[in-house]
Amino acid sequence: MAKASTKSARSKAKKPALPDRCDVFVAGAGYVGLATALSVARGAPDLSVVVADAAPEGVWEKDGRASAIAAAACKMLEALDCWDALVPHAQPMTEMIVTDSRTADPVRPVFLTFDGDVAPGEPFAHMLPNVEMNRILRQRCAEAGVTIVQGAGVTGFERDGALTRIMAGDDTIVEARLLIACDGVRSRLRDMAGIRTVHWDYGQSGIVATIAHERPHEGRAEEHFLPAGPFAILPLTGNRSSIVWTESTENAERLLKADPFTFEMELEQRFGLKLGELTVEDGPRAYPLGLTLARDFVAERFALAGDAAHGIHPIAGQGLNLGFKDAAALAETVVEAHRLGQDIGALDVLERYQRWRRFDTVQMGVTTDVLNRLFSNDLAPVRAVRDLGLGLVDRMPQLKSFFIRQAAGLAGPAPRLLRGDPI
């Protein structure tokens, strides 16, 4: 299993904030870790839940990124009493335009318009700043009795019968019944648990930035399939948008190193000028893109959730939504088992979560992989086929509604929280 913790004495004095024992120990205080912890704590108030984050205090407040929240994830935030506080920061997306064209084409043909709501009055997605989501999740966690400790990265853990002994922070030892790793796509806990991954590197990077523009976007999201890969414009509150711009890693690095003028020139060429003059408000930052799927999502007293279980291509904007689905399914599994008096860390209990989530995840991973391969090239025959494909989708209401439901994250057997119900 994991690195042995041979330190004999428990050093309580160094990290008084970490308890000696808890029921559920969540490693990683991103939105998946926080949502999982909150859902468990609300579903089973008699379980003690700890969230330990490797980053020092205050780092989370510096996250300038925004995320697309599909309708199902939005329902979950409602069920967790977080949504009302997020409404002022949320930009509804009511329309999505998907086009395919060469960068230099002056007017891009519009092939696929995902306009219209999933249900009347319900936008298919919202854009939310990560920092606001994190803030309200932390607040609700604190209200639900969840202990959040910063600067407490997990350095090792070992299973011992009905417990797992976790070393975190400055060699503090915490005994927990279940360890949940939400420590991101390059999860160290996943490696410590000996869980291997399937990985493809796309040789591409996603450039992320917040752009201010002169004219309003009117809630319209755009995804342009450019030869280097998808270029997405996602509306934020006010006259601002978030961009996710795919380039080869080499070009991305070059763009980030270039002077601001060159970057804005390149940006304008892709963004277009219909929203007026553009200013870079936050970023740009580049993230290497790849597909990483964990071979197992669970082991005895151990579970992976979010990017630690699956890092997928951002082409369909589904990373966060898959993460929320994990959080909802894992919390429901743990709470249900607890209400039946079962051992919440037992392998047969955790395997219910794995069965529930893995098929959906692999399907989404493969779909986004195929989409990316199909759209990230400039061969004329491939362009013709995919243009025809997008055109056909637009003309067939049933197929289109299938895609829009997928984009809204409503397809498949949904955990209760994603339907907006408590566990």
Partner 1 sequence: MSDSATTIDQAEVDRFSRLAAEWWNPKGKFKPLHKFNPVRLTYIRDTVCAHFGRDPNAPKPFEGLRLLDIGCGGGLLSEPMSRLGADVVGADASETNIEVAKIHADQSGVDVDYRATTSEALEAAGETFDIVLNMEVVEHVADVDLFMKSCAAMVRPGGLMFVATINRTTKAWGLAIVGAEYVLGWLPRGTHQYEKLVKPSEIDAALSGTGVEVFDRSGVFYNVLADEWRLSRDMDVNYMVVARRGA
Smallest distance, Å, CB 1 to partner 1?
A: 16
Residue of 396, 363, 324 whose CA lies nearest to 68: 324
Smallest distance, Å, CB 24 to partner 1?
A: 15
Smallest distance, Å, CB 15 to partner 1?
A: 24
Smallest distance, Å, CB 336 to partner 1?
A: 8
Smallest distance, Å, CB 164 to partner 1?
A: 13
Question: 149, 53 in Cβ contact below 8 A?
Answer: yes
Smallest distance, Å, CB 43 to partner 1?
A: 8
Identify which of residues 162 and 399 has a Cβ nearer to partner 1 in the complex: 162
Smallest distance, Å, CB 339 to partner 1?
A: 6
Q: Strand 91-93 vs strand 66-70: parallel, antiparallel, or unpaired?
A: unpaired
Identify which of residues 43 and 311 has a Cβ nearer to partner 1 in the complex: 43
Smallest distance, Å, CB 422 to partner 1?
A: 9
Phi/psi for 185 (5° steps) reads: -65, -30
Residue 294 in tokens: 């964990």
Identify which of residues 122 and 348 has a Cβ nearer to partner 1 in the complex: 348
Phi/psi for 40 (5° steps) reads: -65, -45
Q: Helix 380-395 crosses helix 397-407 at what angle (to 10 degrees)?
A: 100
Smallest distance, Å, CB 177 to partner 1?
A: 9
Residue 314 corresponds to which amino acid? P
Identify which of residues 23 and 223 has a Cβ nearer to partner 1 in the complex: 23
CA 303 from centroid of its chain's CA atoms: 17
Identify which of residues 14 and 419 has a Cβ nearer to partner 1 in the complex: 419
Residue of 128, 121, 85, 35 whose CA lies nearest to 326: 35
Identify which of residues 301 and 310 has a Cβ nearer to partner 1 in the complex: 301
Residue 317 in tokens: 């904007």
Phi/psi for 139 (5° steps) reads: -65, -45
Q: Is the peptide bond before 45 cis (omega within 30 degrees of 0)?
A: no
Identify which of residues 106 and 161 has a Cβ nearer to partner 1 in the complex: 161
141-145's contacts with Cβ under 8 Å and 24+ in sequence apart are 141/34, 141/37, 141/38, 141/41, 141/51, 144/38, 144/41, 144/42, 144/45, 144/49, 145/41, 145/45, 145/48, 145/49
Cα(1)–Cα(91) distance, rounded to whole angstroms? Answer: 44
Identify which of residues 58 and 161 has a Cβ nearer to partner 1 in the complex: 161
Smallest distance, Å, CB 362 to partner 1?
A: 17
Which residue is associated with the tokens 């990077």? 205
Q: In this structure, how many other beta carbons lie within 10 angstroms of the beta carbon of residue 340? A: 8
Cα(331)–Cα(333) distance, rounded to whole angstroms? Answer: 5
Residue 393 in tokens: 């989708």
Identify which of residues 88 and 413 has a Cβ nearer to partner 1 in the complex: 413
Question: 326, 416 in Cβ contact below 8 A?
Answer: no
Binding site for partner 1 (CB under 8 A): 44-46, 161-162, 338-343, 346-348, 352, 355
Identify which of residues 45 and 109 has a Cβ nearer to partner 1 in the complex: 45
